[in-house]
Amino acid sequence: MPDKIHTKYVLDETEMPRAWYNILPDLPHPLPAPLHPGTHQPIAPEDMLPIFPMALIEQEMSSERYIEIPGPVREVLTQWRPSPLFRARRLEKALDTPARIYYKYEGVSPVGSHKPNTAVAQVYYNKEAGIKKISTETGAGQWGSSLAMAGAFFGVEIEVFMVKVSYEQKPFRRSMMQTFGATVHASPTNLTDAGRGALAKDPDNPGSLGLAISEAVEVAVKSGGTIKYSLGSVLNHVLLHQTVVGEEALLQMAKADDYPDIVIGCAGGGSNMAGLIIPFVREARKKALNTRFLAAEPTACPSMTRGVYSYDFGDTVGMTPLMKMYTLGHDFMPPGIHAGGLRYHGMAPIMSLLHEEGIVEAQSYHQNSIFEAAVLFAKQEGIICAPESAHAIRAVIDEALEAKAAGEERVILFNLSGHGHFDMLSYDKYFEGALQDYDYPIEAVQDAQTRLPTIDEAALAPGD
């Protein structure tokens, strides 16, 4: 037990990690290979060149444990990194819990979330490869804002397909992207085959991350190499870039002279949670610790708690490589919940494997209960969190109350992935009692899962 209780633990910018930690060589089993969407055979690095620059493809498949963060990327990141680690002292008191609660706060980045950690790196590698324009999708707008900002820093044009329901719920995220010079469309659009197809079936389609990904990938694929595509979560290289969060947190927990029993994150595609936990997973395996890892997800879109571990497309129409992951089915359309960043049908392959191995647990929560947690947290800690992060806070509060009931000194660490200053309309809806608690959409999921691709995994070459 630390003798002196601090409120925050900060690192000097010279203490920012110099390398990302790549968990691929340290996973309990090799990650199942991504497959070609047409042939269903393992894909070669060159197959991904139409959409990604080689440096990122190499990171996607790298067997190096540590990958140096390039100087120009470090230089940008140090504008807000290392991010602070707080001890939630007033929250602990309000809950009257013996648990010690710590949070890593990623809302200090200029756009307000963890996403610039990878956006800056991705735009940098594209710029190095001579790329002048990048297309992408965004849910709540956090990713689009991050890539737009990074594009402005490195002089790369950014085109964003923003999920329509968020475009309408979060107009200021669109203004923010435009401020950074990006072009923003409400997805589904009439600009792509994927968008036109979806609109033909349902002109009121609210959009989804999977569909917006299809649109953005199509733009890159059809550009003949001039436009690349960028994804803000799910992929190995994205999770890699987020490991700065966990490496810093390890140093900060050491400063606090404490160590977590449980590490919690909200999980949409899995990147913020992975960024925090991966270095702690490494430590747990190295030192045989019993650290628990808990993913918090929405009941309306419960990829890990209710999905299947299967090969599936990353997008809705089936243009991306097949990845082995927890999925609800690639054309599952989640209800329009206010945590737009968590409305994704799949889960990062790395996180999926960790869940399959029993290393990462998962729990799902309803909208009203996460906003209740967010409001309690705001009153104690002053930070109004993003609806996505509120899922993690709900899980933290439940853990802290369980610790109290059990009379245990549990140490809880979580990733406060972003602030909610652009999400106040969602808070208003909560206060008005106008938020619907969507049940787990079992029929829609069962229907979507009938369209999972059938892969004969036994026939794939071993070791791939």
Nearest residue (CB) to ligand PLP, 260 versus 269? 269
Shortest Å distance, C-beta 34 to ligand PLP: 18
Helix/strand/coil for 263: strand
Phi and psi for 270 in degrees, rounded to 5?
105, 0
Shortest Å distance, C-beta 169 to ligand PLP: 14
Task: Return the range that interacts with ligand PLP (CB under 6 A); candidates 89-97, 267-275, 298-306, 308-316.
Answer: 267-275
| Subset of 326-365 contacting ligand PLP (CB under 6 A) | 341-342
| Subset of 15-74 contacting ligand PLP (CB under 6 A) | none
Task: Return the range that interacts with ligand PLP (CB under 6 A); candidates 182-190, 261-269, 356-364, 366-374.
Answer: 261-269
Nearest residue (CB) to ligand PLP, 256 versus 351? 351
Size of the site for ligand PLP (CB under 6 A): 19
CA distances to 79, 271, 287, 338, 463 from 441, rounded to whole Å, are 42, 24, 41, 16, 36
User: For 109-205, where are the E strands, in sequence order?
Assistant: 133-138, 157-163, 183-187
Shortest Å distance, C-beta 421 to ligand PLP: 11
Nearest residue (CB) to ligand PLP, 134 versus 256? 134
CA distances to 24, 222, 334, 390, 446 from 314, rounded to whole Å, are 19, 18, 15, 25, 18
Residue with tokens 């120009």: 72
Task: Return the range that interacts with ligand PLP (CB under 6 A); candidates 3-11, 265-273, 281-289, 430-438.
Answer: 265-273
- Report the C-alpha gap between 221 and 101 in whole angstroms: 46
Nearest residue (CB) to ligand PLP, 386 versus 403? 386
Single out the residue of 135, 150, 24, 9 nearest to residue 83, CA to CA.
Answer: 9
| Subset of 392-421 contacting ligand PLP (CB under 6 A) | 417-418
Spell out, one character per residue from 287 to 326, where the chain touches ligand PLP: x when CB under 6 A holds, - when not. Answer: ----------------------------------------
Shortest Å distance, C-beta 247 to ligand PLP: 17
Helix (H) or strand (E) holding 351: helix 349-356
CA distances to 98, 165, 361, 395, 413 from 404, rounded to whole Å, are 6, 39, 21, 14, 16
Shortest Å distance, C-beta 120 to ligand PLP: 15
C-alpha angle 198-200-203 in degrees, rounded to nearest 5: 80
End-to-end CA distance of the chain: 46
DSSP 439: P
Q: Does 233 bind ligand PLP (CB under 6 A)?
A: yes
Strands in 157-163's sheet, in edge-to-edge order, are 183-187, 157-163, 133-138, 227-229
Q: Does 266 bind ligand PLP (CB under 6 A)?
A: yes
Task: Return the range that interacts with ligand PLP (CB under 6 A); candidates 34-42, 50-58, 370-378, 385-393.
Answer: 385-393
Shortest Å distance, C-beta 40 to ligand PLP: 26
- Report the C-alpha gap between 250 and 9 in whole angstroms: 11
- Report the C-alpha gap between 197 and 44 in whole angstroms: 29
Nearest residue (CB) to ligand PLP, 256 versus 277? 277
- When binding is defined by CB under 6 A, the residue of 246, 270, 302, 346 that contacts ligand PLP is 270
- Report the C-alpha gap between 274 and 263 in whole angstroms: 10
| Subset of 79-118 contacting ligand PLP (CB under 6 A) | 113, 115
- When binding is defined by CB under 6 A, the residue of 166, 187, 208, 271 that contacts ligand PLP is 271
Shortest Å distance, C-beta 348 to ligand PLP: 7
Task: Return the range that interacts with ligand PLP (CB under 6 A); candidates 80-88, 353-361, 384-392, 401-409.
Answer: 384-392
Nearest residue (CB) to ligand PLP, 82 versus 340? 340
Helix/strand/coil for 151: helix
Reading the block at residue 448, the tokens are: 């979507």
| Backbone Cα Rg of the chain | 21
- When binding is defined by CB under 6 A, the residue of 59, 109, 117, 142 that contacts ligand PLP is 142
Q: Does 269 bind ligand PLP (CB under 6 A)?
A: yes
Residue with tokens 């044009």: 157
Please say whether the beta carbons of 328 and 302 come within 8 A: yes
Q: Does 208 bind ligand PLP (CB under 6 A)?
A: no
Single out the residue of 398, 292, 303 nearest to residue 342, CA to CA.
Answer: 303
Q: Does 188 bind ligand PLP (CB under 6 A)?
A: no
- Per CB under 6 A, residues contacting ligand PLP are 113, 115, 142-143, 233, 266-272, 341-342, 386, 388-389, 417-418
